[in-house]
């Protein structure tokens, strides 16, 4: 298996879903059951991507495969030199793994959707959109430069828009779609400016070239501040896409889309693209940038967790949990736990997709009931859904023997180490708090949905387990939430093949003085770093090791605590949730209403912009145009004036002449003059005035 | 003994000129306005003759004055015809009432 | 000696002599032909053509007629024949020819068919006056020729007597004109007093001396300018223009707006050039004798004229009146060519006049043809004509666009040359004012097009069909407007060949 | 090279067509339409022939030799009397990388607009005659290389435009038409003045060795041709060059239209019939920016460098201001009109950068805006034809009723938003890349990026208000697109997406020229500028 074959296969993988999209859009109207073609294509892509992953990880484990061609060439530009904008793909281990993750989940979601979406009037269109999404997502994964990253970034935004607003007859759906796109654009602007900074300095978009240049000490505008800025700005893209505070508000609303879409896009893949981006630019992040990222991530995970505590919509809970988990990953990048961030991305993708599809199964069974207060006891009616859902919940809560435990624990260890090394203890504190809350609200969800007695009997009676095409994906995904796929030792993720062999922290390229103290290499390490052999300072590695067990124990405790409390509240009803809510009314309301962030945004940014727009429109209409029209009015006025000149001004002259004549006493009679005479008077006066002006002395 | 010189003629001419203009702009009757015009023309005539006489310019001035007189006559003829025409249409010859054409 | 001088002089004024003969023939014909006066217009046409032939045969000729052999400046005569004069005479003749052709078509004129002999005789009187105005270099001849022209035109303005406004126009024109010429005469008398001569060339050499009373001279200049300014209807001596243009028969209005103005301009230019310019340098710049600030005066007057004209035109509802104000504005533009005091400016004036002749007469012709049919010159009555009478509307549109000065019409070339002259003289501010005036003028010209095409008529507009001869006549004016807009080389070359003003 | 005068043909063919139409009897509206369609189709074919024979490596800009398809002969040749000099005006046409995209755009948009004109019922003959005259004027502006010729074409379009808006327009058509006319004429008189000023400042070396004043654009670009005492020589102490530049710029800016000269645009667009809006937005607005690039930049490189910040500032204002005002609109067409203001701001911003990337982006944006906005106006036209309303709040749920139409709308809207894979993205990105690279205007560029957010805001909001939500029962019987409408939308969609995926298809045409332009503008020192600016 040679490189070019891998490249070609990757390109085929990339374009297969697009082919599906085009086929479905243009032929969907005429050919029935065309959606199966799309499912088939995805299956094909999945197989190919597994092949690619296998080839990459086995034969080219340490070597990145890059292929590119020139997209835009601007010749020899004056004062700049040649500018070539390239398109290309870069396959490293992360890419290879992501290919499989994306294709797998996408395939499963396609499969799930066959039944879930049956009967929809835009059935084929739906699969077409899924196709274009998959294409764009694979593009993000495969690209080797920032511009293409941005391009695919926007395209996933488009597919997300189309899929959230799929049921556009509902105003809430089209609102949510619009909101998602626009909120994402805010982040994208930052990302775009970040890319602009890099391009301005390096005249290229290619990751490797830029990183290499930074490594050589060639900084944007020769300033570390600009490097930090570039990092943070590009991270803003991730803030938007991965729904980080303060741009997280779109993701819960995005649940208006069909549930499989939520699973694919708004839980497993697209939202993880932000984390993927952070992972990609990790090497160029300065300490300041990383700190910002860590804080944003931690704060996001916390705030989302607090909101998730009180939500009653099954998808909303999952949505906020997604936001929270994404915050985790981002925080992980920020504290330098690169590998665990990516690891969590992968594990989270599986169990969160499973959760969403599970919720889809529930919703399907309950005839589009989403409120968990109206559920309960579904365990019996939907056993497979229940068990897969439970496994995933256990995973996300960080219970041992699950994938979630492995990745979450690593992240928590990372934060702990970070806290020790930099004394930013707040970040690990938030991390553990969130872990507890996650366990609590996830089990609250499970208990309220599946345990206890049914609260809506009518719907309960009609509920039934979903058909095979829907449960099969659940089973697959639940299976993937077990530790065994990643490491043989359920308590030592770092020893597993995933982290040991496949995903390694790359060497920082930022100037040494801009890094965290603990990331500065010693002299020998610096030499080694140039060759990409050592990635982190020994100190950091050691601290990570130190943090491993305390983090594990702590996380076990907090997760257990969370689960326990959830059972106390909802299963055994030892404590009344309502009473507590009554007691902590303010906090409860704050949480239930998502901290009023939507309202605040509406009142400030949205209304502000619209209001400003209206003011400007008024300004435009009345003032700017008014000036123009005003000058026209003045012109008309002047013309009226000169038009009436003959009648009035000249008459005025007459009167004046009358007065004047009277003054000299030549006539006491009031002068009776006609128009011709007024003209003549004017001539006479003109002559006098001209004489006064042009007299030669 | 008062020596009549150029200045005196010019003063007379200026007075005539002013009276003529005054008549033109104040008289109601079109014929009276025409009289004013005659005054203006004749003030110029006085100038011509006086300049010719006192400036030793030869006979040119006098000849010009003759031309002007003839022309004034022609003008008066046409003018009166027009005034007559006006009288036919408007039944009066008050120039200030003939203002249908304006603005 | 005296006889040869006289023969020589007479040979230089053959066109004028021919005109006089034609005038007499017309009067006689009017007497002889009692009933059927159909022949008279053709006699007039022959007269114009004959004059035209004689005028053109003078082309390239230059000289003085009626020199004063007694004077020390014996070489300068009362009449100057030069290519500049011939240019303006041609303008006058072409417009006369067209006016006669217009008169064939005009219903107004058809109605007074019994007095048609007088009509043409008076027109010939005007032409004769203009011819002398154009070539006169003696103040008295200037005065006399102006009066000759004026007296004829006073009558013509009220000639049809079909409506009150004819007589009124006539009276106003008369009174205003008589006063203006009176003032001018007074000015001339002052000049005579200062210099002892009425010959412009001699005045020119005399006023360069130190003993001239500058105040009196300035007074005289302003008075004379008032007289000429009234003829070219420049502000502030323009007040008669709209009233008379509106009241007069349309053929006469058209004639006044072009021929009379041409004669006035020729006179003004010749007067200033001959009297006040000391020399013309090789680059074509005219150097004024420093006795009177003509430059500032004319700049002020021209800006005032075009601004007043344009602004007043904005609100006019009568087409003739609107065109009257527009012709005032155009007088302002034409004066711009003079303010630069250079041959370049003179070329611009000549080009502008050639173009102005075409487009202004064209516009009047179309207005007349429309008035023939709908009996109104009111702009509101034009509503919807664009659809029903495409040919007339399109041609009116072209004439008006050309009057605005938009390419690709000849009007643009005229304006272009004016602005070229201004920029060449580095008078940018004046050019900007003039350009802004152009923008203002668009508004009222386009207003006509708006009524023709855009405004929905209340009642179904009549469809005006044009006879073959009318179509030819309109086309004869319209095609050159477009042709010269695209290819103006012949126009410029012609103007250039007509630059010569005989002088010191 | 081709054996026939392709540029004259492509320019004057519509005029020929106009005469044929005028000669046709009145009762044949169908023939008139087909004839116009044929003529515009031939124009497209000619444009393609031109492109096929185009030499991608010839620069043009200031170098006559590297212009292509040159047609040059003496048009006005007035041999002067010595003190007057000679007037020599050439009929001079040629294309380079700056004009070729515009020629292609004009041909394309004219063709599409003809299709869109099919619904015209009122005085068909007059409409199409004026339409063809307009077409000729537009084409002429882009191929003329003599300033005089350029100006004639520039003004030639005004009148047909006036009538096309004024006769076939909406309720306030008279107001809109006169406003358009007066406004643009106001701008063009300044152009005229500067043209005359340039004429007197520079001379061209004739074959016989004499130097005469010239309107030849290429000669006017060469600083060596300026005489030190010329009115626009940099030695002139009154900063006349600066004033002239501003006047010229203002003349072009009105056409763009640049804030605060933009207010004619919404009125003109709202009142104009659909095809005329298409032409207006698709081609006419480009003349302003084209004029700046073709004339202002190379003839006044010194001032351009001096004022680039201000140009960028106005670009930024256009982007942000246009977008914000668009947000507040309730009329579909007005919204698109303001979006045009916003999008033309990108062109200004890109031009202001004076870099290859930025100017490439600017020209590319000109082309893309032409296609995208044309499509947007066609979209408005389709809905207006069917419902006779344009109120954004009068619709709702049309996506259910007209799915294909909605599909095209989505494409066009996202193209306007600057979605990657569509042409608008590439040009906007290049504009930003170019502008950001210049330190002087970096902050302005960063503020301008807000435009892409606001753009998404008003476009998506519009999409939602018209097409999403429950179907407004009033429109339950609307028909989806018919064949003619497909024929309008499909070529535009293909071009938009093709150039989004393969922008080099267009960028390669202009790249050489842009490089040449940039190096010319950034390095040319006016030899007479030593003492002045």
Distance CA C263, CA C126 (A): 10
Q: Are D135 and D40 in contact (CB under 8 A)?
A: yes
Q: How far is C493 from chain D (nearest CA, A)?
A: 7
Q: Are A674 and B24 in contact (CB < 8 Å)? A: no
Which of A328, A333, A237 minimizes the C-alpha distance to A293? A333
| pTM (two decimals) | 0.90
Q: Does A677 touch chain B (CB under 8 A)?
A: yes
Distance CA C286, CA C294 (A): 12
Q: Are D220 and D147 in contact (CB under 8 A)?
A: yes
Report the length, in residues, of chain A: 697
Q: Does B22 touch chain C (CB under 8 A)?
A: no
CB interface of D with A, residues 299-338, below 8 Å? 321, 324-329
Q: How far is B90 from chain A (nearest CA, A)?
A: 14
pLDDT digits (tens, 9 = 90+) for D24-49: 887 788 889 999 999 999 999 999 99
pLDDT digits (tens, 9 = 90+) for C369-382: 998 888 888 888 88
Running DSSP on this structure, what letter comes out for residue B29? B
CB interface of A with D, residues 323-352, below 8 Å? none
CB interface of A with D, residues 622-661, below 8 Å? 624-625, 627-628, 632
Touch of A by D (3+ CB pairs closer than 8 Å)? yes
Q: Are D515 and A77 in contact (CB < 8 Å)? A: yes
Q: Does C189 touch chain B (CB under 8 A)?
A: yes
pLDDT of residue C145: 94
- Mean pLDDT value of segment C475-495: 91
Q: Are D464 and A175 in contact (CB < 8 Å)? A: yes
CB interface of B with C, residues 24-53, below 8 Å? 24, 30, 33-34, 37, 40-41, 43-45, 47-48, 50-52
What percentage of chain D carries pLDDT values higher than 70?
Answer: 97
pLDDT of residue C102: 92
The dihedral formed by the CA atoms of D212, D214, D218 and D222, expressed in degrees to the nearest 10: 50
Q: Are A672 and B28 in contact (CB < 8 Å)? A: yes
DSSP alpha helix (H) spans, A165-286: 171-202, 207-215, 224-241, 250-253, 259-263, 270-281
Q: Are A75 and D400 in contact (CB < 8 Å)? A: no
Which residues on chain C are in Cβ contact (under 8 Å) with D272?
A: none
Range with the lowest mean pLDDT among C69-78, C159-168, C380-389, D151-160? C69-78
Q: Are C452 and C382 in contact (CB under 8 A)?
A: yes
pLDDT beyond 90 at C99: yes
Compute the C-alpha angle A246/A248/A249, nearest 5°: 100
Which residues on chain A are in Cβ contact (under 8 Å) with C221?
A: 694
pLDDT of residue A632: 64
Q: Does A687 touch chain B (CB under 8 A)?
A: no
DSSP alpha helix (H) spans, C1-138: 2-12, 14-32, 39-57, 83-105, 107-110, 116-135
Task: Say if D429 falls within a structural domain.
Answer: yes
Which residues on chain A are in Cβ contact (under 8 Å) with B99?
A: 674-675
pLDDT of residue A670: 31
Q: For residue B10, what are the CA distances in angstroms to A361, B50, C190, C216, D366?
A: 120, 8, 10, 12, 76
Distance CA D144, CA D385 (A): 37
pLDDT of residue B103: 58
Residue to mutate among A26, A70, A78, with most D CBs inside 10 A, is A78
Which residues on chain D are in Cβ contact (under 8 Å) with C406?
A: 155, 158-159, 185
pLDDT beyond 90 at C479: yes
Which of A478, A504, A499 minimizes the C-alpha distance to A488? A499
Residue to mutate among A657, A675, A679, A687, with most B CBs inside 10 A, is A675
Running DSSP on this structure, what letter comes out for residue C460? P
Q: Does A682 touch chain C (CB under 8 A)?
A: yes
Running DSSP on this structure, what letter comes out for residue B4? P
Block mean pLDDT (10 aa), chain A, length 697: 83 89 84 83 88 84 82 80 85 87 89 85 86 90 90 90 87 87 89 90 87 84 87 90 87 86 85 88 87 90 87 87 90 86 88 89 82 80 86 87 85 85 85 88 86 79 81 87 80 74 78 76 58 57 79 86 84 77 79 78 79 81 72 61 44 42 33 59 84 76
- Mean pLDDT value of segment D500-518: 90
Running DSSP on this structure, what letter comes out for residue D258? P
Distance CA A592, CA A589 (A): 5
pLDDT beyond 80 at C299: yes
Q: Are B101 and C144 in contact (CB < 8 Å)? A: no
A426, β-bridge pairs = none
Closest chain C residue to B83 measured between Cα atoms?
Answer: C171
Which of D189, D213, D155, D218 minimizes the C-alpha distance to C344? D213
Distance CA A78, CA D511 (A): 12
Which of A67, A52, A145 minimizes the C-alpha distance to A153? A145
pLDDT digits (tens, 9 = 90+) for C217-231: 899 999 999 999 999
Q: Does C344 touch chain D (CB under 8 A)?
A: yes
CB interface of A with B, residues 57-96, below 8 Å? none
pLDDT of residue D531: 36
pLDDT digits (tens, 9 = 90+) for C74-89: 667 888 888 899 999 9
Neighbours of chain A (3+ CB pairs under 8 A): B, C, D
CA A410 to chain centre: 24
ipTM value > 0.90: no
Neighbours of chain D (3+ CB pairs under 8 A): A, C
Q: Does D367 touch chain A (CB under 8 A)?
A: no
Q: Are A466 and A382 in contact (CB under 8 A)?
A: yes
CB interface of A with B, residues 627-666, below 8 Å? 643-644, 646-647, 657, 661, 666
Q: How far is A107 from chain D (nearest CA, A)?
A: 25
Range with the lowest mean pLDDT among A644-658, B18-32, C6-20? A644-658
Distance CA A197, CA D439 (A): 11
Distance CA B38, CA B47 (A): 14
Q: Does A71 touch chain C (CB under 8 A)?
A: no
pLDDT of residue A558: 86
pLDDT beyond 70 at C107: yes
Judged by DSSP in three states, A349 sits in helix
CA A616 to chain centre: 30
Which residues on chain A are in Cβ contact (under 8 Å) with D400?
A: 169
Indicate the residue of C226, C292, C296 with minimum beta-carbon distance to A687.
Answer: C226
Q: Give me Rg for the CA atoms of chain D.
A: 23
Q: Are C140 and B64 in contact (CB < 8 Å)? A: yes
Judged by DSSP in three states, A125 sits in helix
Q: How many domains, in total, are found in chain D?
A: 1
Closest chain C residue to D137 measured between Cα atoms?
Answer: C408
Residue to mutate among C154, C235, C239, with most A CBs inside 10 A, is C239
> Which sequence spans correspond to the domains of chain B?
6-94
Strand residue runs (E) in D269-309: none
Q: Quote the domain boundaries for residue D470.
A: 307-501
The residues near A666 (Cβ < 8 Å, ≥ 6 apart) are B22
Residue to mutate among B15, B21, B26, with most A CBs inside 10 A, is B26
Q: Does C450 touch chain D (CB under 8 A)?
A: yes
Q: Are A674 and B26 in contact (CB < 8 Å)? A: no
Q: Are A681 and B33 in contact (CB < 8 Å)? A: no
**Quick one: A604 exposed, middle or buried, by C-beta within 10 A (0-12, 13-18, 19+)?**
exposed
D73, β-bridge pairs = D91
Neighbours of chain C (3+ CB pairs under 8 A): A, B, D
Q: How far is C462 from chain D (nearest CA, A)?
A: 17
Range with the lowest mean pLDDT among A40-54, C438-452, D225-239, D317-331? D225-239
Q: Does A646 touch chain C (CB under 8 A)?
A: yes
Q: Does A162 touch chain C (CB under 8 A)?
A: no
pLDDT of residue A399: 84
Touch of B by D (3+ CB pairs closer than 8 Å)? no
pLDDT beyond 50 at D294: yes
Q: Are A369 and A455 in contact (CB under 8 A)?
A: no
In total, the C-beta contacts within 8 angstroms joining chain B to chain C are 119
Annotate A42-56 with three-state secondary structure.
HHHHHHHHHHHHHHH
CATH T-level assignment (fold) for domain B6-94: Helix Hairpins (1.10.287)
For residue D260, say if its preceding peptide bond is cis, omega within 30 degrees of 0: yes
Q: Are D174 and C454 in contact (CB < 8 Å)? A: yes
Q: Does C416 touch chain B (CB under 8 A)?
A: no
Residue D249 pLDDT class (50, 70, 90 cuts): very high
Q: Are B21 and A666 in contact (CB < 8 Å)? A: no
Task: Say if D418 falls within a structural domain.
Answer: yes
Q: Are D328 and A192 in contact (CB < 8 Å)? A: no
């Amino acid at each position: 298996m040679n490189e070019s074959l891998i490249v070609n296969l990757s390109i085929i993988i990339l374009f297969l879903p697009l082919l599906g999209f085009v086929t479905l859009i243009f032929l969907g109207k005429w050919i029935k059951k065309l959606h199966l073609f799309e499912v088939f294509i995805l299956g094909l892509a999945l197989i190919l991507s597994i092949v690619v992953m296998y080839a990459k990880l086995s034969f080219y484990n340490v070597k990145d495969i890059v292929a590119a061609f020139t997209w835009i060439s601007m010749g020899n530009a004056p004062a700049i030199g040649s500018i070539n904008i390239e398109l290309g793909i870069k396959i490293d281990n992360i890419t290879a793994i992501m290919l499989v993750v994306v294709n797998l989940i996408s395939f499963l979601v396609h499969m799930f959707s066959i039944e879930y979406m049956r009967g929809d009037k835009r059935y084929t269109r739906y699969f077409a959109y899924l196709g274009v999404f998959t294409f764009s997502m694979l593009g993000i994964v495969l690209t080797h430069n920032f511009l293409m990253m941005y391009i695919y970034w926007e395209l996933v935004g488009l597919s997300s828009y189309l899929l959230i607003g799929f049921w556009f007859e509902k105003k809430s759906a089209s609102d949510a779609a619009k909101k998602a796109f626009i909120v994402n654009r805010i982040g994208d602007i930052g990302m775009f400016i970040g890319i602009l900074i890099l391009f301005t300095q390096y005249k290229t978009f290619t990751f490797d070239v830029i990183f290499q240049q930074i490594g050589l000490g060639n900084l944007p505008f020769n300033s570390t501040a600009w490097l930090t800025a570039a990092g943070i700005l590009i991270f803003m893209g991730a803030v938007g896409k991965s729904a980080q505070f303060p741009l997280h508000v779109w993701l819960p609303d995005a649940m208006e889309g069909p549930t499989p879409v939520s699973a694919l896009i708004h839980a497993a893949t697209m939202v993880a693209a932000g984390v993927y981006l952070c992972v990609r630019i990790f090497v160029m992040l300065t300490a300041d940038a990383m700190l910002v990222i860590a804080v944003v991530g931690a704060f996001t995970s916390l705030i989302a967790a607090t909101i998730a505590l009180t939500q009653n919509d099954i998808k909303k809970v999952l949505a906020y949990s997604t936001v929270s988990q994404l915050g985790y990953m981002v925080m992980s990048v920020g504290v330098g736990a690169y590998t665990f961030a990516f690891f969590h991305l992968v594990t989270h993708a599986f169990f969160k997709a499973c959760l969403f599809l599970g919720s889809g199964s529930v919703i399907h069974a309950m005839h589009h009931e989403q409120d968990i207060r109206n559920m309960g006891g579904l365990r019996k009616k939907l056993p497979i859904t229940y068990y897969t859902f439970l496994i995933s919940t256990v995973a996300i809560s960080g219970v041992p023997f699950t994938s979630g435990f492995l990745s979450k624990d690593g992240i928590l260890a990372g934060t702990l180490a970070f806290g020790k090394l930099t004394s930013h203890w707040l970040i690990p504190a938030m991390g553990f708090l969130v872990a507890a809350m996650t366990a609590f609200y996830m089990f609250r969800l499970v208990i309220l949905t599946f345990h206890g007695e049914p609260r809506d009997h009518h719907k309960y009676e009609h509920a039934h387990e979903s058909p095979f095409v829907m449960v099969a994906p659940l089973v697959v995904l639940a299976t993937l939430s077990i530790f065994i796929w990643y490491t043989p030792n359920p308590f030592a993720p770092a020893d597993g093949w995933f982290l040991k062999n496949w995903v390694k922290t790359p060497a920082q390229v930022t100037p040494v003085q801009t890094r965290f103290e603990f990331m500065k290499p010693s002299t020998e390490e610096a030499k080694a770093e140039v060759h990409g052999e050592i990635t982190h300072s020994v100190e950091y590695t050691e601290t990570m090791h130190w943090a491993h067990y305390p983090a594990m124990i702590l996380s076990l405790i907090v997760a257990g605590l969370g689960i326990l409390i959830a059972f106390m509240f909802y299963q055994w009803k030892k404590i009344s949730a309502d009473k507590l809510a009554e007691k902590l009314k303010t906090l409860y309301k704050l949480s239930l209403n998502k901290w009023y962030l939507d309202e605040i945004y509406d009142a400030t940014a949205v209304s502000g912009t619209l209001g400003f727009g209206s003011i400007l429109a008024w300004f435009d209409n009345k003032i700017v145009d008014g000036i123009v029209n005003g000058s026209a009015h003045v012109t008309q006025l002047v013309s009226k004036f000169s038009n009436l000149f003959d009648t009035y001004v000249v008459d005025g002259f007459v009167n004046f002449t009358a007065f004047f004549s009277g003054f000299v006493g030549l006539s006491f009679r009031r002068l009776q003059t006609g128009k011709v005479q007024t003209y003549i008077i004017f001539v006479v006066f003109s002559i006098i005035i001209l004489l006064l002006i042009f007299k030669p002395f | 003994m008062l020596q009549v010189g150029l200045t005196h003629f010019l003063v007379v001419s200026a007075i005539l000129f002013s009276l003529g203009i005054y008549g033109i702009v104040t008289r109601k009757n079109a014929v009276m306005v025409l009289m004013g015009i005659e005054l203006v023309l004749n003030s110029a005539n006085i100038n011509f003759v006086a300049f010719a006489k006192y400036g030793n310019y030869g006979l040119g001035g006098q000849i010009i004055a003759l031309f002007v007189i003839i022309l004034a006559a022609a003008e008066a003829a046409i003018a009166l015809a027009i005034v007559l025409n006006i009288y036919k249409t408007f039944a009066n010859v008050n120039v200030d009432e003939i203002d249908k054409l304006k603005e | 000696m005296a006889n040869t001088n006289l023969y020589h002089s007479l040979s230089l004024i053959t066109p004028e002599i021919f005109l006089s003969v034609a005038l007499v023939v017309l009067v006689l014909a009017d007497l002889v032909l009692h009933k059927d006066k159909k022949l008279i217009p053709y006699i007039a046409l022959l007269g114009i053509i004959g004059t035209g032939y004689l005028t053109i045969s003078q082309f390239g000729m230059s000289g003085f007629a009626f020199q004063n052999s007694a004077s020390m400046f014996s070489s300068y005569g009362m009449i100057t024949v030069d290519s500049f004069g011939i240019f303006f005479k041609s303008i006058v003749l072409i417009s006369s020819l067209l006016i006669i052709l217009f008169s064939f078509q005009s219903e107004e004129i058809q109605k007074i068919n019994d007095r048609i002999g007088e009509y043409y005789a008076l027109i010939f009187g005007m032409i004769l006056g203009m011819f002398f105005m154009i070539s006169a270099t003696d103040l008295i001849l200037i005065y006399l020729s102006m009066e000759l022209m004026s007296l004829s035109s006073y009558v013509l303005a009220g000639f049809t007597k079909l409506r009150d406004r004819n007589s009124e126009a006539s009276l106003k024109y008369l009174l205003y004109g008589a006063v203006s010429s009176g003032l001018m005469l007074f000015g001339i008398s002052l000049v005579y007093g200062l210099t002892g001569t009425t010959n412009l060339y001699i005045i020119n050499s005399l006023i360069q001396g130190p003993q001239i009373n500058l105040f009196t001279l300035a007074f005289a200049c302003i008075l004379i300018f008032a007289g000429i300014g009234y003829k070219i209807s420049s502000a502030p001596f323009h007040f008669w223009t709209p009233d008379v243009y509106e009241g007069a028969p349309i053929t006469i209005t058209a004639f006044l707006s072009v021929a009379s103005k041409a004669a006035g301009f020729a006179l003004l230019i010749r007067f200033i050039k001959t009297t006040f310019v000391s020399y013309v340098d090789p680059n074509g710049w005219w150097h004024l004798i420093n006795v009177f600030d003509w430059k500032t005066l004319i700049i002020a007057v021209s800006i005032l004229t075009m601004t007043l004209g344009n602004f007043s035109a904005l609100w006019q509802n009568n087409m003739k009146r609107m065109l009257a104000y527009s012709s005032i504005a155009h007088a302002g533009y034409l004066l711009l060519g003079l303010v630069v005091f250079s041959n370049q400016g003179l070329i611009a004036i000549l080009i502008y006049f050639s173009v102005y002749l075409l487009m202004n007469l064209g516009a009047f012709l179309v207005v007349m043809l429309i008035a023939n049919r709908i009996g109104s010159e009111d702009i509101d009555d034009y509503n919807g004509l664009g659809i029903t009478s495409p040919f007339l509307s399109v041609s009116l549109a072209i004439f008006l666009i050309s009057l605005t000065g938009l390419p690709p019409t000849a009007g643009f070339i005229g304006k272009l040359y004016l602005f070229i002259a201004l920029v060449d003289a580095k008078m940018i501010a004046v050019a900007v004012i003039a350009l802004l005036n152009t923008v203002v003028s668009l508004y009222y010209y386009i207003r006509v097009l708006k009524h023709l095409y855009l405004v929905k008529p209340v009642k179904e507009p009549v469809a005006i069909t044009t006879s073959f001869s009318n179509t030819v006549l309109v086309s004869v004016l319209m095609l050159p407007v477009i042709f010269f807009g695209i290819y103006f080389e012949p126009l410029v070359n012609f103007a250039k060949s007509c630059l010569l003003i005989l002088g010191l | 090279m081709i054996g026939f005068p392709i540029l004259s043909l492509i320019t004057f063919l519509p005029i020929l067509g106009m005469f044929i139409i005028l000669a046709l009897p009145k009762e044949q509206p169908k023939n008139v339409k087909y004839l116009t369609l044929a003529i515009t189709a031939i124009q497209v074919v000619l444009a393609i022939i031109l492109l096929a024979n185009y030499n991608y490596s010839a620069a043009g800009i200031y170098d006559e030799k590297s212009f292509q398809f040159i047609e040059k002969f003496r048009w006005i040749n007035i041999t002067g009397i010595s003190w007057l000099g000679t007037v020599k005006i050439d009929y001079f046409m040629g294309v380079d990388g700056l004009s070729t995209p515009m020629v292609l755009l004009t041909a394309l948009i004219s063709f599409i607009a003809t299709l869109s004109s099919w619904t015209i019922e009122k005085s068909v003959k007059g409409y199409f005659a004026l339409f063809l005259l307009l077409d000729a004027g537009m084409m002429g502006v882009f191929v003329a290389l003599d300033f005089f010729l350029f100006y004639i074409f520039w003004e030639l379009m005004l009148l047909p435009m006036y009538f096309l808006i004024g006769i076939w327009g909406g309720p306030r058509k008279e107001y809109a038409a006169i406003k358009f006319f007066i406004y643009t004429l106001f701008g063009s008189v300044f152009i005229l003045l500067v043209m005359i000023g340039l004429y007197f400042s520079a001379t061209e070396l004739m074959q016989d060795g004499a130097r005469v004043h010239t309107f030849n654009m290429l000669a006017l670009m060469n600083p060596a041709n300026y005489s030190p005492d010329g009115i626009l020589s940099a030695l002139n102490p009154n900063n006349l060059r600066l004033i002239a530049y501003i006047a010229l710029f203002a003349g072009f800016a009105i056409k763009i239209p640049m804030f605060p000269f933009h207010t004619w645009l919404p009125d003109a667009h709202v009142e104009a019939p659909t095809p005329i809006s298409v032409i207006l937005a698709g081609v006419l607005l480009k003349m302003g920016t084209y004029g700046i690039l073709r004339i202002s930049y190379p003839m006044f490189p010194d001032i351009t460098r001096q004022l680039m910040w201000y140009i960028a500032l106005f670009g930024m204002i256009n982007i942000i201001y246009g977008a914000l005002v668009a947000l507040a609109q309730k009329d579909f067409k007005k919204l698109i009109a303001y979006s045009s203001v916003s999008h033309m701001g990108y062109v200004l911003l890109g031009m202001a950068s004076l870099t290859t990337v930025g100017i490439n982006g600017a020209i590319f944006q000109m082309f893309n805006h032409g296609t995208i906005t044309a499509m947007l106006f066609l979209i408005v036209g389709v809905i207006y034809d069917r419902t006779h309303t344009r109120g954004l709040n009068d619709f709702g749920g049309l996506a259910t009723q007209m799915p294909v139409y909605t599909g095209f709308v989505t494409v066009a809207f996202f193209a306007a938003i600057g979605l990657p894979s569509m042409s608008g993205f590439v040009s906007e990105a290049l504009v930003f890349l170019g502008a950001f690279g210049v330190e002087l205007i970096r902050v302005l560029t960063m503020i301008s990026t807000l435009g892409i957010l606001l753009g998404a805001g008003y476009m998506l909001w519009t999409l939602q208000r018209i097409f999403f939500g429950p179907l407004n029962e009033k429109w339950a019987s609307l028909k989806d697109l018919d064949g003619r409408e497909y024929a309008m939308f499909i070529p535009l969609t293909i071009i938009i997406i093709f150039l989004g995926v393969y922008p080099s298809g267009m960028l390669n045409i202009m790249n050489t020229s842009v490089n040449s332009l940039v190096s010319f503008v950034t390095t040319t020192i006016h030899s007479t500028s030593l003492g002045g600016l």
